[in-house]
Every structure is written in structure tokens, then in C-alpha cells.
């Protein structure tokens, strides 16, 4: 009963999504319905970080694919190690929602001790957001664990923009949250089978060529295929919803970025977009902030963009493109953990 109430409370938190309206479960059709069914089957609830993409169905499928085939699917890496990566990356990106959820899940995995060293993996994931750090794990699970890291560099940015700081809705009292956290950690704990069958999400999007920056994924064919399809879908979303001048600017800034925070104020954003045409500056400001400092995104940045492109689908696609482009940049130094990238 308590677990059912916690699931209900988390589902209700979809009503707290910022800037956009999430497609309700009962209204989902086509690709959105297909993704929702998989999420509820494999996550045991409609996870808000996935559902927030629902205004843009192919972006929704891409986001689910990279999460499912790394964090959830049964593989070489144990779930405790994966949750430790998710927790460490979320700490590095100042994403309290994701840190809360995945630290709860890690705490709920009874057999975490002895199979891996979660503290060492959290430390690696946290530090590797800004530096090349030798991994505390052998080469065999590297594709899965790097994949989790890349997925969460993506998800942290999306969650910081569209969700509030807690996975529980605002009406849940603080006094009830410790117990709710313990219960949610147990709900999200993987089954004894070790996770769902790999590859079940791949048919959601068409196949795509493997780009060079996926060298770290090559040893795991399913992870490589999932990211190739997701990258292609996200690039197509960017082409639809992000002006070319903005895409060029973001890629240029990311080409020399090494994970460092740009500063407390947003003066860096205003200076960077000054070279853009006036009509493209709102999109440029929002995309740069999401890519480099998603925790700085506020109503002003979003509202300025919405005045030029009012659709929820366009906003989600711009945010997804900026988030994935930044995550791909981070993957270039995470790849040191993969012998296939040497």
C-alpha cells in the first residue's frame, strides 16, 4: 500500500513540471504511448524525467533509449555501480532531483556492498565531469558505465530546466519525506533477474550510423546502437528547432570547454550571443545556458525563447539538443576509460 502511494505521489509530480505540459498517460497515442508502456514496465512507474519529453515524441524515444539500455538493462555492470555513476554525475551537475532519486535507489540495493565500490565510482563520476580521471573499474563494464554517465549528463540538464528539486510533489510534508525516500528506493530497486532484457527499446527509432565519438560504446553492440539512434534523432530535433547560427555557436563554445562552470552571473551568456542576429539571441541564450550551466536557467530565459517559438515541442527539442550536445562533449574525456578509444 505504501509503495503504491509513493508511486502515485511521484506520478502526481508530473503536474509540477515547469514550462511545458506533459502528455497524460490516458491521452498518450502512437510513439508516446509505446514509450510510456516500456517505461512503466521497466521502471515500474512513469518516471517524470522521461515523461517531460512527451511533447516531442522522437526526442522522448531517444531519451528513454539511452536510459534504458545503460542504467536498467541487464548487462556486465551491476546496478549498484550504475546507480553510483548516476549519483556522482548528478552531484557534479547540481541536479538535486536526480541525486535524490539515484542515491535513494543505491541505498535500496541490499547487495551493493561487495560487488563494487560505490563510493569510489561516485567519486570518479563526480570528478570526471571536469577532468580525465582513471576509472575505478575494469574494462569489461566500461561501455555500460560510461553510457550511464553520458545519459545523466544529458538528463541532469533536462531535469534542471523542467522539473523541481524534489521527486515528490510540493504538497508532501518534509516530515514524510524520509520514509517516502526509503520506500521509493525499494520500489526502484532492480529485480533479482538483474534487469530487463537489453535491446527492447531499439525498435522505437530507426537505425543510424555509429559516429566517431561513440568509440567507447563499440564493445557493447546494444549500447552503441541505442546511442547512435538517439544521437541521430536529437540532431534531427536540433535541425528543426534550433537556428543554425545557434547550433554553430554552441558547438564552437563546447569545442574548447572542459567542464568548468562559466561563473555565478549570466554575463557570459549575453556576451556570447552578441554576435547572433537579434532574432536568434533568445534561442542562443537558452541553449548555451542549458549546455554549460543548466542550473542557471530561469523563467526569463525560457519566456524570452517562448516569445519567438511558442510550442512545447520546439522548447523540448532545443533543450534536448543542447543537453545532448554537451553530454557528447563530456563523453570525449570519459572515453579514456575505454580501450577502444585509445
pLDDT band, very low/low/confident/very high, at 1 (cuts 50, 70, 90): very low
Name the average pLDDT for the chain: 88
Q: Determine the Cα–Cα distance for residues 162 and 17; give it in Å rounded to an integer.
A: 6
Confidence of residue 11 (pLDDT cuts 50, 70, 90): low
What's residue 6's pLDDT? 47
Residue 190 to residue 181: CA distance in whole angstroms: 16
Distance CA 43, CA 193 (A): 14
pLDDT at 181: 58
Tell me what the mean pLDDT of segment 153-165 comes to: 95
Share above pLDDT 90 across residues of the chain, in percent, rounded to a whole number: 70
Q: Looking at residue 180, what is its pLDDT?
A: 55
**Is the sign of the CA dihedral 188, 194, 198, 200 positive or negative?**
negative
Secondary structure class of 174 (helix, strand, coil) = helix
Percent above pLDDT 70 for the chain? 85
How is the chain split into domains, by residue range? 1-342
Environment class of 124 (CB within 10 Å of its CB; exposed 0-12, middle 13-18, buried 19+)? buried
Can you spell out the DSSP letters for 234-285? Answer: HHHHHHHHS-HHHHHHHHHHHHT--S----SSSHHHHHHHTTS-GGGHHHHH
Residues 105-141 pLDDT 10s: 888 785 544 456 889 999 999 998 887 788 899 999 9
Amino acid at each position: 500500500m505504501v509503495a503504491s502511494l509513493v508511486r502515485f505521489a511521484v506520478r502526481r509530480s508530473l503536474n509540477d513540471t515547469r514550462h511545458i505540459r506533459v502528455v497524460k498517460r490516458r491521452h498518450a497515442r502512437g510513439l508516446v504511448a509505446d514509450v510510456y508502456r516500456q517505461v512503466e514496465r521497466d521502471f515500474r512507474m512513469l518516471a517524470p524525467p522521461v515523461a517531460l519529453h512527451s511533447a516531442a515524441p522522437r526526442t522522448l524515444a531517444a531519451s528513454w533509449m539511452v536510459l534504458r539500455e545503460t542504467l536498467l538493462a541487464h548487462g556486465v555492470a551491476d546496478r549498484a555501480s550504475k546507480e553510483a555513476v548516476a549519483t556522482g554525475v548528478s552531484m557534479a551537475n547540481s541536479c538535486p532531483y536526480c541525486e535524490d532519486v539515484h542515491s535513494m535507489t543505491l541505498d535500496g540495493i541490499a547487495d551493493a556492498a561487495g560487488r563494487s565500490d560505490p563510493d569510489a565510482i561516485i567519486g570518479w563520476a563526480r570528478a570526471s565531469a571536469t577532468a580525465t580521471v582513471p576509472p575505478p573499474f575494469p574494462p569489461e563494464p566500461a561501455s555500460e558505465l560510461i553510457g550511464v554517465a553520458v545519459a545523466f549528463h544529458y538528463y541532469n540538464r533536462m531535469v534542471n530546466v523542467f522539473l523541481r528539486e524534489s521527486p515528490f510533489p510540493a504538497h508532501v510534508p518534509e516530515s514524510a519525506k524520509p520514509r517516502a525516500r526509503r520506500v521509493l528506493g525499494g520500489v526502484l530497486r532492480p529485480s533479482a533477474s538483474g534487469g530487463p532484457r537489453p535491446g527492447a527499446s531499439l525498435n522505437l527509432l530507426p537505425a543510424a550510423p555509429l559516429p566517431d565519438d561513440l568509440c567507447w560504446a563499440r564493445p557493447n553492440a546494444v549500447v552503441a546502437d541505442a546511442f547512435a539512434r538517439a544521437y541521430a534523432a536529437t540532431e534531427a530535433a536540433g535541425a528543426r528547432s534550433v537556428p543554425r547560427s545557434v547550433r554553430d555557436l554552441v558547438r564552437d563554445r563546447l569545442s574548447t570547454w572542459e567542464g568548468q562552470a562559466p561563473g555565478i552571473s549570466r554575463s557570459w551568456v549575453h556576451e556570447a550571443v552578441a554576435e547572433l542576429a537579434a532574432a536568434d539571441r533568445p534561442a542562443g541564450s537558452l541553449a548555451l545556458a542549458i549546455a554549460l550551466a543548466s542550473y542557471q536557467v530561469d523563467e526569463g530565459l525560457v519566456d524570452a525563447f517562448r516569445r519567438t517559438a511558442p510550442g512545447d515541442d520546439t522548447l523540448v527539442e532545443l533543450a534536448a539538443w543542447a543537453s545532448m550536445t554537451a553530454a557528447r562533449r563530456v563523453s570525449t574525456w570519459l572515453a579514456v576509460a575505454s580501450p577502444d578509444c585509445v
